[in-house]
Amino acid sequence: MAFCFEKDQLVIASEGFLSVTMQSIVQEIGKPTYVYDLDEVVRRLKHLSGAFTENTTIHYAMKANSHPEILKAVAQLGLGVDVVSEGEIRLALKAGVDPGKVVFSGVGKSKSEIRHAIEVGIRQINVESVGELRRIGEMAGSLKKVCNVAFRMNPDVDPDTHPYIKTGFRDNKFGMDESALPELEEVLKANSEYVHLTGLTLHIGSQIRELESFLDAIQKTLPIWDHLKEQGYPLETFDIGGGVGISYTEENPESDYALIAEYGAAVNKLLGDRAIELQVEPGRVVVGRSGVLLTEVQYIKQTPYKNFAIVNSGMHHLMRPSLYSAYHRVEPIEKYTDRPSMVYDIVGPICESSDVIGHDRSLPRLEEEQWLAIRDAGAYGFCMANTYNAHELPEEVVVSEGRKL
């Protein structure tokens, strides 16, 4: 059931278990805290697993949220992960993820990262450039270990999302277009003993709610898969990336489930009767709605022009509003029906004018030392937090089956 109000208290409600109130968490911890509903994470992972063909592997994009309890849940479900650094590989394996279910993405893989990936035997490295493929060949040859690779193709699709999180357009740094294939094939032939091309991959961006861009990208890439297959390459996998978004403005999370089901049905139809292992890399849609950031009002500052609610969290704890002008709902953790509404800018303590969590928010009159919840903060929240101005990192709490883990 994720986050909801019971008796005017914001809680995590789990069927058959006592609800955990946000008030109990702030009373115990008393400083900015991310709270995650692990049961909702598991529910979404199971829903994703059932939305696509039987021959599908879910690789959770752990850059969205790499909390150990979330990674353990992924491992216990027998799912995989999509990683973008050696550090993420190490976190995944420590949590029990099978290395054979790890795919490694990212444009800037270092020699040490590639070496580590080959040594621990991950499923595949998603290649982003000819130079990277050469480096993989050198490292695999020196280790005398086979490395499976998938070429990340750039389908030149321009999705409807923030420009900073578009990754499949021709102006982006990610992936390769068809013109790179002859050179890539030359490098494969030169390193055929230890480098095996086993698939293709694509990823066009993040926080995308319209399916046309996804389907267009797949339609543009499948002919390349068919061509390479006809050339004799033993292709097995087709990785369609992640990027399915959530609605940050509405309360009803069921819209996410409907979108996933529609996406899965459309992808299954596009693949047709090809003998393909489908790989999917969901991130935000798994954890975004499953987390809140709790923050305390420090001061109410009224000027002739604005009312400010100054809180003890901000862009150092949640970068999305300042980085992407992203919207997050903000509400008190207790409902107040007897207070008049007022309009506030919710701002943090950082010495930057961009440290604004939300502009012009209508809320019941706020008071100092009152706690607020920044909603839908489970993705790209704590993992992007920092200690700018020498502030402490926020705390993290994971809740499952009515208890804090």
Q: Name the phi and psi angles at 161, rounded to 5.
A: -155, 180
Amino acid at 17: F
pLDDT for position 216:
87
The DSSP bridge partners found for residue 332 are 372
Contact 89, 63 (CB under 8 A): no
Read out DSSP for 58-120?
Answer: EEEETTS---HHHHHHHHHTT-EEEESSHHHHHHHHHTT--GGGEEE--S---HHHHHHHHHH
Which of 4, 147, 351, 383 is catalytic? The answer is: 351
Nearest to 80 by CA among 88, 309, 298: 88
Contact 333, 10 (CB under 8 A): yes
Nearest to 102 by CA among 54, 41, 60: 60
Domain residue ranges of the chain, discontinuous segments joined by +: 3-36+290-404, 39-288
> pTM of this prediction?
0.93
Fold agreement (3-36+290-404, 39-288):
no
Interhelix angle 86-94/68-76, nearest 10 degrees: 60
Measured between alpha carbons, how far apart are the two ends of the chain, in Å? 18
Match 């993705």 to its residue by tokens: 379
The tens-digit pLDDT sequence of the chain (405 residues) is: 579 999 999 999 988 889 999 999 999 999 999 999 999 999 999 999 999 988 999 999 999 999 999 999 999 999 999 999 999 999 999 999 999 999 999 999 999 999 999 999 999 999 999 999 999 999 999 999 999 999 999 877 764 443 544 444 455 667 788 889 999 999 999 999 999 999 999 988 778 888 888 888 888 899 899 999 998 999 999 999 888 889 898 877 778 899 999 999 999 988 888 889 999 999 999 999 999 999 999 999 999 999 999 999 999 999 999 998 999 999 999 998 889 999 999 999 999 999 999 999 999 999 999 999 999 999 999 999 999 999 999 999 999 999 998
CATH 2.40.37.10 fits 3-36+290-404, yes or no: yes
Chosen CATH of 39-288 out of 3.30.70.141, 2.30.250.10, 3.40.640.10, 3.20.20.10: 3.20.20.10
Q: What is the rounded distance in angstroms from the CA atom of residue 163 to the CA atom of residue 233? A: 35
Q: Annotated catalytic, 351? A: yes
Exposure string for 89-110, b = 16+ CB within 10 A, e = fewer: bebbbebebbbebbbbbbeebe
Nearest to 276 by CA among 202, 222, 231: 222
pLDDT for position 271:
87
pLDDT for position 161:
46
pLDDT for position 170:
54
Q: What is the rounded distance in angstroms from the CA atom of residue 313 to the CA atom of residue 384? A: 13
